[in-house]
Structure 1
Amino acid sequence: MSISIKLPDESVREFEEETSIEDVAASISCGLEHAVAGKLNGKLVDLSTPLQDGALVEIVTRDSAEGQKIAREKSRGTGRIVALDAARGLAVIGMYLQHFALNETNGSIVSGNTTLLFVLCGGISYSIMAGRMMDRGMEPAAFRTRMLARAVFIDMIGYLLIMLNTPFGVILPAYAALFVLALVLIRRSTRVLVTTAAVLLAVSPPLMILGGSVLSEAYLLGDMAGGPMSALALAPAFVAGMAIGRFDLTKMRTALSLVSSGTIMLIVSKLLGTFVLPGLSRSFEEWLVSVQGTAGAEPDQYAIWPHNVAPPLWHNLLSIAPHSASTFQTMLGLGAAFLVLGLACLVPQKISAVLKPFVGVGRVALTMYAAQFVVIWALEISGAKYDIGAIPFGDLFVAAVATVTGWLIARLPTGPLETAMRRFDRVFSNLGPVTGPTISR
């Protein structure tokens, strides 16, 4: 069922029944990245305000005098969203490179790092949504319901993609688990979030290695703590993102802090990976052999627990290889993620158009993420070869196709999966503010 929305130029447009002012802004030329608020029948309201048939809607943009005033009052404004979407878009494009055009040149950049950048951006978005909840006076229970509904939706999409049985891992079930587990942190201080991320960086690797052994066949528990694609392995990046989401990414100081800290983490990780970890890893593996002996026969899957589990891969604790999820590999990936996000935040507002192709991909990140597995499945079914990394400029071709595809999908009010997730939210959660709408961050 559709509704009619009136615009200030007296034109009338048709939208879906669940449309919000944010959807209207995304569909017209001003673009969502320039919108800071809306007017509903002349009253200033939040961008997420739902609309009814016959509503008169005006988009308040950052370029207007009223928009500039709102942006000053609400310093966490549109620049933050643009940079965040651009970074998320780059993460998705990097995944396409990893799956369709991996080679020695781009492998050290995208392998493993794009996943952590994607999860970091997810943590930032999560923190922003929690902040908006507090601003609008929404009951914590309503936010928890919304996140639980979103986690269920993402989990279902993840398992549908896993059923395609493509050669690549799907992180969506772990990502969904993080949406649930992070609920305990939404009201904690920024200091607690930073401390939690640091602690997780140290303790998650041994716990997820143990979980990869003990929980390998327990699917739900495996999604939470069963190896390098589990929520526990990705938790340091997600919680770090939640902490970053508390800061104003439109400020130069924040962007420079991200760039400098990311650079330091990259340099330290590279130095450790080159000069320290190889020798330390050999000594550690020799010690493991002396204690555990050499690997024996495969465990009997029909034996009683714990005799049916494989031995933990403790040697991965000192690995810096992609997707090992060790402390050092996570620190390397987080350093790269901080650097990319910080550089995106440094792009001035006047030339932010350079980020628009990546912003488009980031706005429909869930749709684009799922699409790559469907494409891989179709190519596998047809027997076609899709790894073109060895072809000259093959990686540039894949990056260009992914960027253009995401940009075209983003021309819609929202991506197909994003629209479905929003409807799922509204079916299973009560999102109405308690005290009435206020200005969006």
Structure 2
Amino acid sequence: MTQYSDVAAPAVDAPAPVRDSGKAPAGRLIGLDLARGLAVFGMYAAHVGPDPDQRGVTGFLMELAHGRSSALFAFLAGFAVVLITGRRTPKTGRAGRQAVAKVVIRAVILLALGTALTMSGIPVDVILAFYGLYFLLVLPLYRLSSGPLAAIAAGTALVLPQVLYVVQQAIGDSAVRSPGEPDGIVSLLFTGTYPALTWIPFVIAGMAVARLDLAATAVRTRLAFTGAALMITGYGGSWLALHVFPGAADAISTSAA
């Protein structure tokens, strides 16, 4: 095994060196902290910030915060599940059981807090109860590697929104939660502001990314290109549907009414 005896040990506060393999030593994921901060500020902007309908830079930024910050929150929920249960290798035995218990306890606390805030009549859409349910729904997948998790995320992203549409049509408008009404299981799964059927794919995608070797430059590069490709596909497909295919906008408006 190669020795590095001629390399002086770095100072405590100095950044650790990066080897030729392109991997940084294991440590705190700064990008994860930045994503968490962005999600929190985005949720604040969406709930208590200026109206996105106003013109200019402020309106543009507020529009970016709506929907996207909650999607980032859901993505980070999946990342958190993997961090707790073992990021690169799932914990087993007693450690695994303790990790699962930690996730369940967090989920129950979030469900209780979210339901209490909703019942208090707070004038915002509370995501906490939904967040807790997401933890519980994806927990059985925590032993899977990044490949199967990515495949499940892609499959559920394509299928579950269609299932949700059918279920909502079957339930009817009378079951849709009104502001201030407690989040029941039907609301959490199907009719609430952040229904699990459409948000769970984000959570599973977060689990898949968390399983990757994020210290490797090649992995981060592939993630950046994959994200850009998904963004172009999503926004490009939306633009095509609304501007190229006649009647698409009217059909979407009718189905959402």
Range class of TM-score, shorter chain: 0.7 to 0.9
Paired residue for 1:265?
A: 230
Moved more, 272-281 or 219-228: 272-281
Paired residue for 2:27?
A: 78
Paired residue for 2:85?
A: 130
SS in 1 for 2:94: coil
Percent of aligned pairs sharing the same letter: 25
User: Which of residues 112, 122, 147 in structure 1 aligns to 2:67?
Assistant: 112
Deviation of 1:151 after TM superposition, in Å, equals 0.8
Paired residue for 2:188?
A: 223
**Richer in strand (by share):** 1
Paired residue for 1:252?
A: 217
Gaps of at least 5 residues in structure 2 are 1-9, 53-58, 178-182
Aligned CA RMSD, in angstroms, stands at 3.4
CA contact (8 A) 1:211 1:222 kept: no
SS in 2 for 1:229: coil
Q: Higher Cα Rg: structure 1 or 2?
A: 1
CA contact (8 A) 1:121 1:241 kept: yes
The count of residues paired between Structure 1 and Structure 2 equals: 227
CA contact (8 A) 1:92 1:114 kept: yes
Paired residue for 1:315?
A: 255
User: Which of residues 274, 285, 288 in structure 1 aligns to 2:239?
Assistant: 274
Partner amino acid, structure 2, of 1:145: A
Paired residue for 1:92?
A: 40
Deviation of 1:102 after TM superposition, in Å, equals 3.7
Are the structure 2 counterparts of residues 171 and 279 from structure 1 closer, same or farther at C-alpha, using a change threshold of 3 Å? farther
CA contact (8 A) 2:241 2:248 kept: no
Query: In the TM superposition, what are the counterparts of 1:402-413 in structure 2 within 5 Å?
Result: none
Query: In the TM superposition, what are the counterparts of 1:391-430 in structure 2 within 5 Å?
Result: none
SS in 2 for 1:249: coil
Query: In the TM superposition, what are the counterparts of 1:1-80 in structure 2 within 5 Å?
Result: 63-64=11-12, 77-80=26-29
Deviation of 1:267 after TM superposition, in Å, equals 1.9
CA distance in 2, matches of 1:135, 1:181: 19
Gaps of at least 5 residues in structure 1 are 1-61, 289-312, 317-441
CA distance in 2, matches of 1:139, 1:281: 57
Deviation of 1:116 after TM superposition, in Å, equals 0.7
User: Which of residues 228, 235, 249 in structure 1 aligns to 2:200?
Assistant: 235
Are the structure 2 counterparts of residues 262 and 64 from structure 1 closer, same or farther at C-alpha, using a change threshold of 3 Å? same
Deviation of 1:211 after TM superposition, in Å, equals 3.7
Deviation of 1:167 after TM superposition, in Å, equals 3.4
Are the structure 2 counterparts of residues 198 and 230 from structure 1 closer, same or farther at C-alpha, using a change threshold of 3 Å? same
Query: In the TM superposition, what are the counterparts of 1:313-392 in structure 2 within 5 Å?
Result: 315-316=255-256
CA distance in 1, matches of 2:112, 2:98: 21
CA distance in 1, matches of 2:250, 2:133: 32
Partner amino acid, structure 2, of 1:112: G
User: Which of residues 107, 111, 114 in structure 2 aligns to 1:155?
Assistant: 111
User: Which of residues 126, 146, 150 in structure 1 aligns to 2:102?
Assistant: 146
CA distance in 2, matches of 1:123, 1:110: 20
**TM-score scaled by structure 2?**
0.75
